[in-house]
Amino acid sequence: MIFSGLSVTLATTYWLMVMLFTIVYVRIRAEIGMPYTWVYPYGMQREILFLALGVPSNLRHLALLGGFFWLSRHFFLPLNAAYAADAIKLIAKGNIISSKFSIWGFAGGAVGLWIAFFTHLQAYYRRGANFLEGTPGTGDFRTLVTVQDYRWLSQLVDNPHLLRRERLSWVVYGTAVSGALMVLRRFWTSSPWHPLGFILAGAYGHLCPYWFPCLVAWVVKGLILHYGGMRLYRKLIPYS
């Protein structure tokens, strides 16, 4: 990001936000086992950057942040990090040499990423993003998301007050509560309040769609432990 022309402060802060969200997503996947992709408020990484540092006055920096929006809007980093966590578990169970797996994994990821860039950009420049996937003149969903984001950034240039500053206080509140729950669970291991559960419950605001499937999983787990104990529970866990 720095080599593209983005300032060191913006690039470092944005990458830090993206990595923090990715780490939390992996912990949710590893500890809770939530088999779903959108377990984070997408786009919030960059919005926190704007709320904390303000909208960049440099239009080039703003345009570059729009170009790197795919790191926070879509799920390339979280999903691949979750796959890596799954792979680590499989390596441990299969007695595979982890160093070789890591080398081939990073190499394959790098090659695959550049192939994806090449194929998409080649198709976009040859055919036009607005004429792909059978939607002539309007573009597919990804094209619409891209156009929507640049329009939003253009509006922020003219009216920075469109950002809801109170959202930063909500971020601080959520961070404080999550930290308090982490400390509580450290000293009270049987605490029923899990910090990842609190984060998951607010991943989509008060309209979070995950509460019912999590409730069902919690009830099923309780029944298994009650009637079958840890022996049955471990037998039913994949790759345990």
Quickly state the pLDDT bin for 176 (edges 50, 70, 90): very high
Among the listed residues 36, 65, 33, the one whose alpha carbon sits nearest the alpha carbon of residue 50: 65
Among the listed residues 235, 197, 230, the one whose alpha carbon sits nearest the alpha carbon of residue 215: 197
Per-residue pLDDT, 58: 84
Mark whether 139 and 217 lie in a shared domain: no
Query: Residue 41: is its pLDDT beyond 90?
Result: no
Mark whether 165 and 226 lie in a shared domain: no
Quickly state the pLDDT bin for 180 (edges 50, 70, 90): very high
Residue 3 lies in a domain: no
Per-residue pLDDT, 223: 92
Mark whether 181 and 240 lie in a shared domain: no
Q: Where is 206: in which H helix or E strand?
A: strand 203-206
Mark whether 193 and 225 lie in a shared domain: no
Among the listed ranges 10-14, 75-79, 197-201, 210-214, which one has the minimum average pLDDT value? Answer: 75-79
**Structural domain of 227:** 210-240
pLDDT digits (tens, 9 = 90+) for 135-150: 666 666 777 777 788 8
Mark whether 33 and 69 lie in a shared domain: yes
Whole-number Å distance between alpha carbons of 25 and 45 = 13
Mark whether 115 and 226 lie in a shared domain: no
Considering 55-59, 122-126, 218-222, the range whose residues carry the highest mean pLDDT is: 218-222
Query: Residue 77: is its pLDDT beyond 50?
Result: yes
Mark whether 190 and 231 lie in a shared domain: no
Per-residue pLDDT, 50: 85
How many separate domains does the chain show?
2
Query: Residue 110: is its pLDDT beyond 70?
Result: yes
Mark whether 217 and 164 lie in a shared domain: no
pLDDT digits (tens, 9 = 90+) for 185-204: 888 888 888 888 888 877 77
Per-residue pLDDT, 238: 66
Per-residue pLDDT, 183: 93
What's the distance, Cα to Cα, between the start and end of the chain in Å? 40
Three-state DSSP state, 208: coil
Among the listed residues 172, 177, 208, the one whose alpha carbon sits nearest the alpha carbon of residue 193: 177
Mark whether 219 and 181 lie in a shared domain: no
Percent of the chain with pLDDT over 70: 93
Per-residue pLDDT, 231: 87
Quickly state the pLDDT bin for 240 (edges 50, 70, 90): very low
Give me the chain's average pLDDT, please: 81
